[in-house]
Amino acid sequence: MYSETTTPAAETFVLPGEAVFPESVGTDEDTGDAYVGSLADGALYRLSSGDRVELWSPPGEDGRSSVAGVKVDKLRRLWAAGGYDGTLWVYDLASRRLLAGLDIGGRPSCVNDIAFGPRGEAYVTDSLISILFRSGGEPPSLEPWVDLAEQGVPWAEGLNLNGIVLAPDGRHLVACQTNLGRFWRIALENGEVQEVALDGGPLEHSDGMAISGSNLYVAVNARNMIAVIDLAADGSRGRITTTLHSEQFAFPTAVALAGDRLLVVNGQLDKMGASPQLPFTVLVIPTPR
């Protein structure tokens, strides 16, 4: 049985605009800055110390009209998933120069999230296409890698594979499946897919994820909480140990680690086409131990 914890935000980043609908957040390990993208218009924001928020790249730049997952790799490149546009964008952080604008090549599509392998390659989920994509090279290119449905992942209506992380052993990926609440392990060596045995699951509405050691943090959007999973080193099994709740959560869609802090994106995607609660925010809460 897992414990439930209520926690207030220690800090709040306020995103300017009345229709931002942020979806994800990625952190730059070198500077501690975080980057957030808008699912509604493709804007990219930089969050830095002192609650500072900067428009890093405006809506529509380079033809970018929507941003879902955002991640920063060890080469200090920013990767932005293009959501329903079926695109993937790669930028140099220092110069803000576009390095690659890539297309999944199929529709309907929802390019959703990104994780990096031990050699720097990027693995990309699409919630509507049953393919896990891989990107590498200079400049980066994009290719289909694993057909998930062929390997037994049930591909249901709605959003399927979403958040993705590298398992602690560095040899497997772990991805969550939003609509079914199931988690899947993918071997980097051969692309073999197996279901994660999750004690306390299934965990429907799982969205963006972050990992530190054996602790896997999962934004559970429609349930307005963050789940903490004790994950086996090889990603084969996990146990929900804690759920984090806050009155300040507003359909949290992503989490990221920044030192001893956990960044939580209040996506409010349930309010798209309606009246969101302004302002849009990214919360900072202490990382649970």
pLDDT at 2: 82
Which one-letter amino acid corresponds to residue 115?
Answer: A
Q: What is the pLDDT of residue 49?
A: 82
Distance CA(237)–CA(286), nearest Å, equals 26
Extract the tokens encoding 239: 């146990």
Can you tell me the distance from the alpha carbon of 16 to that of 8, in angstroms, rounded to the nearest whole number? Answer: 22
Give the CATH number for residue 225.
2.120.10.30
**Cα four-point dihedral sign 281, 263, 252, 99:** positive
Cβ atoms of residues 37 and 44 within 8 Å: yes
60-118 per-position pLDDT tens digit: 999 999 999 999 999 999 999 999 999 999 999 999 999 999 999 999 999 999 999 99
User: Using CA atoms, how far apart are residues 17 and 278, in angstroms rounded to an integer?
Assistant: 9
151 band by pLDDT with thresholds 50, 70 and 90 = very high
What burial class does residue 45 get, using C-beta atoms within 10 Å of its C-beta: 0-12 exposed, 13-18 middle, 19+ buried? buried
Burial classification of residue 200, based on how many CB atoms lie within 10 Å of its CB (0-12 exposed, 13-18 middle, 19 or more buried): middle
Q: Which two tokens stand for residue 121?
A: 């390659």
CA distance linking residue 235 with residue 141, whole number of Å: 27
pLDDT of 51 reads: 84
Summarised one tens digit per residue, pLDDT across range 245-277 is: 999 999 999 999 998 899 999 999 999 989 999
Which two tokens mark 61? 């730049």
Residue-range definition of the domain harbouring residue 111: 3-286
The residue ranking higher by pLDDT, 8 or 231, is 231
In angstroms, the CA 260 to CA 45 distance is 22
Count how many domains the chain has: 1
DSSP single-letter state for residue 276:
P
Among the listed residues 160, 165, 190, the one whose alpha carbon sits nearest the alpha carbon of residue 175: 165
- The tokens describing 79, both together, are 């990767």
Q: What's the pTM?
A: 0.97
Average pLDDT, the chain: 96
85-114: b or e for each residue (b if 16 or more CB lie within 10 Å)? bbbbbbbebeeeebbbebebeeeebbbbbb
- Identify which has the larger pLDDT, 224 or 2: 224
pLDDT above 70 covers a percentage of the chain that reads: 100
Closest of 209, 121, 115, 193 to residue 155, by C-alpha: 193
Query: What is the Cα gyration radius of the chain?
Result: 17
